[in-house]
Amino acid sequence: MKHLLPVALLACVACAHADDDGGPAVVPYRPSVSTPAQLSAPGYLELEAGGLRATGPGADSGASRTTLPYTLKLAFTPDWGLRVGGDAWVRQRAFGQSDSGVGDTAVVLKRRFAVSDATAWGLELGETFPTAKSSIGIGHAQTTINGIFSSDFAPAWHTDINLNATHVDSSNQDVPWQVGWAAAFSRTLSDSWGAVGEFSGTHQSGIDTTQFLAAASWNQSPAAVFDFGFARGLNDQTPRWQVFAGVTVRLGKVF
């Protein structure tokens, strides 16, 4: 239970900011796999955090992974931004063995290319550092290039499509790259509620993952958006079930 304390504290922070309507609205990237081309408001620091529990994949019915993901986002202009994120804590269980600790850390530089008020492209360059021990983390530094297409279409509908490549292990010259994709479709249901559905997956030398994600979001105010949902693996190489909840909150103006 002690590892749920950061989530509880974050919820309190979000509630404290809930009536702060003097600033711009937050731009949640969570909980979908894909990210939008849009950046957060320039000069305002945003924090995303929550909890996620995954079960499976494979023959080990007791396999599970519980994480507390977080992301700090800061845009310098409407077209340039930086984010730092990772897992504040990880607990993993497989084949009767369990381990836990701090997770890996990623730094991502983002560039938006606006086409119109409704459509934009995006490009992200990220580096993930192996700050976790190898039993629960990636073990090697990884570089990712992510291309983004985002667009509003029809009343209240929006889509984010990502295609990326990750250099996963320089010591393995046979399969050093992993390709990932994600396509999310979201809809505004009311002034306070929204919903998103997404298909995503990865491919690396015969190892393929595919999943479907569904989630809902509640805009408590422009300064705080809560989310919750689940993901279902669509093949044996993907976690069978994932459940998650979290929040995006505006922390304050930096410049």
How do residues 191-237 score in pLDDT, each as one tens digit?
999 999 999 999 998 889 999 999 999 999 999 999 999 999 999 99
Share of the chain above pLDDT 70, in %: 88
Assessment of whether the complete model's pTM goes beyond 0.85:
yes
CATH number for the region 2-253 comes to 2.40.160.40
Query: In this predicted model, which residue has the larger pLDDT, 176 or 112?
Result: 112
pLDDT by residue (tens digit) across 140-181? 999 999 999 999 998 999 999 999 999 987 665 577 899 999
**Per-domain boundaries in the chain:** 2-253
Place of tokens 């949640």: 28
Q: Could you read off the pLDDT of 27-40 as tens digits, one per residue?
A: 999 999 999 999 99
CA distances from residue 158 to 39, 46, 151, 247 in whole angstroms, order as listed = 15, 22, 6, 20
CB atoms within 10 A of CB 98: 13
